[in-house]
Structure 1
Amino acid sequence: MRPWLDTPSHARWLEGESDRLLAFSRASRHPDGGFAWLDDAGDPQLDRPVQLWITCRMTHVFALGALMGRPGCGPLVDHGIDALTGRFHDDEHSGWYAAVDDDGPRSEQKTAYEHAFVVLAASSAAVARRPGAEALLAEALEVLLTRFWDDEHGMVVEEWDRSWSSLDRYRGVNANMHSVEALLAASSATGDDRLLQHALRIVTRVVHDLARAHEWRIPEHFDEQWRPLLEYNADAPAHPFRPYGATIGHWLEWARLTLHLRAALGEDAAPGWTLDDARSLFDAAVREGWSVDGAPGFVYTVDWAGRPVVRERMHWVAAEATAAAAALHQATGDVAYAQWYQTWWDHIAEVFIDPRGGSWRHELDPSNQPSALVWAGRPDTYHALQATLIPRLPLAPALATALGEGLLRWARRRP
């Protein structure tokens, strides 16, 4: 039997799931600007502050929809750009507020995590040729590279105050991971290959140095000298952004991003370790994360001996698992990755996809029943939508650029 990854029929199923997710996402348009947090029923929570990371992710999602030719997505991209150049933008000091409401900014700290998503959203919108996107991208890149980039360590720092005068001592890997994604997208959108060298420095530090040195359990939290804080948040292990221990889904995401970088650099120019390290991260995630506690699914986090800590199942981890498997299959041709890909889509179809409510159930408990220990509601469709596209696109260029260049495989029925 041919692997699903090699069949037009599976690609058409993925396309249908893309459209279902885009349809669900439309309700997130906030009437005051940006995109709202959706609850389990898909209703916008208009009384909650509007989050920068959600607005950026959904602007990116709708830019991908526009590039797929889905009517109505383009105006939603414009709605996102208007919010990013309007209510989220700090006109006095530059940069973007992390959250806003009717009274203005709710959080004045400026963090690399959110600013990386501004770069991603602007990159995808620029490829989709939406008004104002190129100027937004130029500004977002300038802020990321002048305010957050730490050239000494080859990483991005975490958090500034509003006026860029006080830098928090905490350093985090999650923001660096999404900075790699943003730099890859921006390089594809602008043709600036210099951005790939920033991405390479981050990936080298995190994947080839830190992950390898810790048996592929990537440390997430650091002090200002980039010394690992292995016990950070031990008393708050289910923190949504800074959980204790090592995060299984991030190993899969780093594996995929390493392969995207390898393809963007060119296999002959990329360091030889990139493929081997991506394989090792994937293998570690399967070994320590997949169905290790008596039920199907990936645990959320493990300790430094590889024992499960938070056992909730996150939809985004399963999505990244399929994407990493598809990327490794594309890079190697190894059928084992195609088999894992099918296993995890079967799992997603069984427990995460909600055919009645729309979208995916964001979080499940260890018995695969709905949970809200870490996340409540269904705030965005970014991971899920990308999981429907990555198997149908080359590893480079980045998603939006590949869609813009017509590289989506089997987008139509063949005669």
Structure 2
Amino acid sequence: MTDLLSPFLLPETSWLRHSAHRSWLEAQGRRLLDFSKAAKMPDGFGPLDDEGRLSPDATPDSTITARMVHAYALAALQGVPGARPMVEHGVQALLGPLRDTEHGGWTAGPSDPRGRKQAYLQAFVALAASSAVLIGAKDARELLKEAIAITNDHFWSEEEGVMRESFAFDWSDEENYRGANSNMHSTEMCLALADVTRDRTWLNRALRIVTRFVHENAGSHGFTMPEHFDRHWNLLRDYHRDQPTHALRPFGMTPGHFVEWSHLTLKVEAALLRATGEAPGWLLPDAQALFETGIETGWAADGKPGMLYTIDWERRPVVDRRAHWVQAEAATAAINLLKRTGHGRYEKWYRTIWDYIDNTLIDREGGSWFNEVGPDGTPSEEIYAGKADLYHAYQSTIAPVLPLSPSLGTAVLETGAPF
């Protein structure tokens, strides 16, 4: 039940020591898996409305498809019936109708076949491929080979140690932008690829990304996480000031990303210790500092419970919606810090966050979780419409019972069903 690198650090009173809590997590995960099966379409997976239905004009979405492949692969590794066919359906979609057969790579979906190719999506395709390989899904290795080639040929900047952001569909017109969000998810991608391919290059890349964004950028901004830069690494303070509720690149800073970077930084440390027995000494304190600023600036910053969406440069609330993924990542960060340190403060936050999720976000009538709510807990759609895909919520139900390293899919494979 405890982390392989710190097997005795969970307090005796920790929720994770109780079978009832582990059973509760398992039940929530199964509920999310069942609800999300309705997102399946002939050519991939699409977004669901509040009632868990595809709209009549829904089209497959490449990001949703990739994230569903990853999530159902985790379920298949646990022996959940019905999960493997979902993975194989998604793999065929990513190799077929969702893939650009002329130029390679992936755009947002068939509704935007000549759209931009984004590092954010690329990270999820590679993550999905790595997870699908772990269950031996048909053609998963072909998808993984393609995803790695696209990452190496177009997105990875060896000079900068980060991912380039986006290109036109034909790989021209590189965007004058470097983003924290896409590189955060690319860190997760790199950790998974390191485990599945056994190629240490990916672990080195994960460390380089975290060094740039966490140790250097966040470290020089009081362990807040600036999100937006140009290609010369000039901070774009006014970026999307006119789009504060942008779903991927909102104005200001996102406390949910502070805590998400926090637990990814812990996972990089754990992966390095597992692989080499050594890791930079700053990884743990930086992860702790990011969690603290995330909680300080995001949790109940307007006097209401829950962690809000964005803050400005003076750390004042900008968008007060409580996105489901923010709470999920905060819970994961709290439990990973508890496993790493044994400090009771993190147990307290783990319980507080899950209490909020249970009482406010879990939709016991419509299913799944509300994608976002207002400060008073009323469902809203200022940032996100409909119900979210599996990725954030489902991972938050299995991460607590797995070690920090290896990455989630490999951890399930090596340890067996986690519950």
Q: Report SS of the residue matched to 1:367.
A: coil
Could you tell me whether the CA contact under 8 Å between 1:217 and 1:304 is conserved in 2? no
Shift of 1:408: 4.5
C-alpha contact (below 8 Å) 1:77/1:125 kept by paired residues: yes
2:87 is matched with 77
Alignment map for 1:318-357 (pairs within 5 Å) = 318-357=327-366
* Equivalent residues of 1:311, 1:365 under 8 A apart: yes
Helix, strand or coil at the partner of 2:303 = coil
Counterpart residue identity of residue 23, structure 1: D
| 1:169 to 2:176 alignment | yes
168-177 or 195-204, which deviates more: 168-177
Per-residue CA shift, 1:6-59, capped at 9, x if unaligned?
2222111111111111010111101x2110100010001351332211111111
Residue in structure 2 matched with residue 377 of structure 1 by the alignment: 386
**Whole-angstrom CA distance in 2 between matches of 1:130 and 1:236:** 40
Whether contact under 8 Å (1:3, 1:339) holds in the other structure is no
Matches within 5 A, 1:96-107: 96-101=106-111, 105-107=112-114
Helix, strand or coil for the counterpart of 2:319?
Answer: coil
Comparing 48-57 with 275-284, greater Cα deviation is found at: 48-57
What's the offset of the Cα at 1:211?
Answer: 0.4
Find the aligned partners of 1:375 and 1:84 in 2 and give their Cα distance: 24
Secondary structure in 2 aligned to 1:309? strand
Structure 1 residues 177 and 46 mapped into 2: Cα distance closer, same or farther (>3 Å)? Answer: farther
- 2:303 pairs with 1:298: no
Over aligned residues, Cα RMSD in angstroms? 1.2
Among residues 35, 41, 57, which one is paired with 2:45 in the alignment? 35
Counterpart among 217, 220, 226 of residue 219 in structure 1: 226
Specify the code of the residue in structure 2 equivalent to 1:234: R
CA distance in 2, matches of 1:112, 1:45: 27
Contact preservation (8 Å) 2:263, 2:336: yes
The Cα shift of 1:379 comes to 3.2
Q: 1:23 aligns with which of 34, 48, 58?
A: 34
Question: How far does residue 357 in structure 1 lie from its aligned partner after superposition?
Answer: 1.2
Aligned length: 406
The one of the two structures with greater contact order (alpha-carbon pairs below 8 A, sep at least 6) is: 2
The match for 2:272 among 257, 265, 269 is 265
Q: What TM-score comes out, normalization by structure 2 length?
A: 0.95
Look up the match of 1:200: 207
Which of 309, 322, 335 is 1:313 aligned to? Answer: 322
What CA distance in whole angstroms lies between the structure 2 residues aligned with 1:408 and 1:244? 40
How far residue 145 of structure 1 moved from its aligned partner, in angstroms, is 2.0
Q: Is the 8 A contact 1:67 1:403 kept in 2?
A: yes
- The aligned counterpart of 1:148 is 155
Gaps of 5+ in 2: 1-11
Paired AA for residue 166 in structure 1: D
Percent identical among aligned pairs is 46
CA distance in 1, matches of 2:155, 2:338: 34
Amino acid of the structure 2 residue aligned with 1:44: L
1:212 Cα deviation (Å)? 1.0
Q: Is the 8 A contact 1:170 1:223 kept in 2?
A: yes
